[in-house]
Amino acid sequence: MLVSIIIPTLNEEVNIVSVLQSLIGFSNIEIIVPDGGSSDRTCGLIGSFLIKYPFIQLVHSSRGRSVQLNAGAKRATGEWLIFLHADTIIPEKSWANFCTMVGNSNAIQSGSFLFQVASDKLRYRLMEELVNIRTRVLKLPYGDQAIFVRKDLFVKMQGYREDYPLMEDVEFVQRLQKEKGFEILQSPVCTSPRRHESDGFFKRITYNFLITILYRLGIHPKYLVKYY
């Protein structure tokens, strides 16, 4: 079973090396990095991995997360696709649990991991609990929880909506929920708190909440992206 891990990047020189290093020990994978035109050292850093690790590919893509995700998926040859943010790591135990879950059941078609933040601060523990309650009860994970899907189902669904500059993960998951076999793996991926730290924790939480509410009220993401 080959798994294609797709990591969209845009100026990710701070994180991309540690993320790639965390993955290269996993077996039966290919890593595809669709870059949206980074102006920093991201592509050079990825390039340093390419000769030593031929299962890593750098794909030059138009900018936009959904566009980049689709570009990566188009190049993927794996039976499974995992869409991983460039500041998120899959712990070894979570990877093992993923392989066991999808390897033992043909009924599972898609899903996600649980949520964890790479910080010791108490406020992030509360954030994790709330996010994981939403994930378990509503089965509504977001993109920073490493959404996974069988390649044939992804193709059938025609991938991510490229007219969504924001909330593309929510819209995609909502469509996945209408298909059979959507499951939440009870193991986390670990994401960086960088956006919450740089923007201010409560400010970022408030922005995310308001954008989600406005989206659910029917406002198209092209109008919301300027507030993100």
Look-up: residue for tokens 């992206």? 225
pLDDT in tens, 49-77: 998 999 999 999 999 999 999 999 999 99
Which residues in the chain belong to E strands, given as ranges? 3-6, 29-35, 56-60, 80-83, 88-89, 110-117, 147-150, 182-191
Asked, for residue 179, whether it belongs to a domain, the answer is yes
Which of the four pLDDT bands, split at 50, 70 and 90, describes residue 226? confident
The total number of structural domains in the chain stands at 1
Structure tokens at 214: 């406005």
Give 124-142 pLDDT, tens digit per residue.
Answer: 999 999 999 999 998 999 9
Rg (CA), the chain: 17
Number of neighbouring beta carbons within 10 Å of residue 90: 22
Please say if the pLDDT value at position 97 is more than 80.
yes
Q: What is the band of 99 on the pLDDT scale with cuts at 50, 70, 90?
A: very high
Residue 215 lies in a domain: no
d(CA 115, CA 129): 9
Q: What integer best gives the mean pLDDT of the chain?
A: 95
For residues 144-163, average pLDDT? 97
Mean pLDDT of 14-31: 97
Average pLDDT of span 21-35: 97
The answer as to whether 27 is a domain residue is yes
Whether the per-residue pLDDT at 109 is higher than 90: the answer is yes
- Flag whether 220 is in a domain: no
Domain-embedded: residue 60 = yes
Residue 199 resides in a domain? no
Asked if residue 218 is part of any domain, the answer here is no
Residue 225, pLDDT score? 84
Question: Which pTM value belongs to this model?
Answer: 0.95
Q: What is the pLDDT of residue 86?
A: 97
Q: Quick check: is 211 in a domain?
A: no
Q: Percent of the chain having pLDDT more than 70?
A: 100
Give me the CATH number covering residue 131: 3.90.550.10
**Per-residue pLDDT averaged across 73-90, rounded?**
98
Question: Coil, strand, or helix at residue 170?
Answer: helix
Neighbours of 6 (CB within 10 A): 25
On the question of pLDDT at 170 being above 90, the answer is yes
Task: Determine contact, residues 59/71, Cβ cutoff 8 Å.
Answer: yes
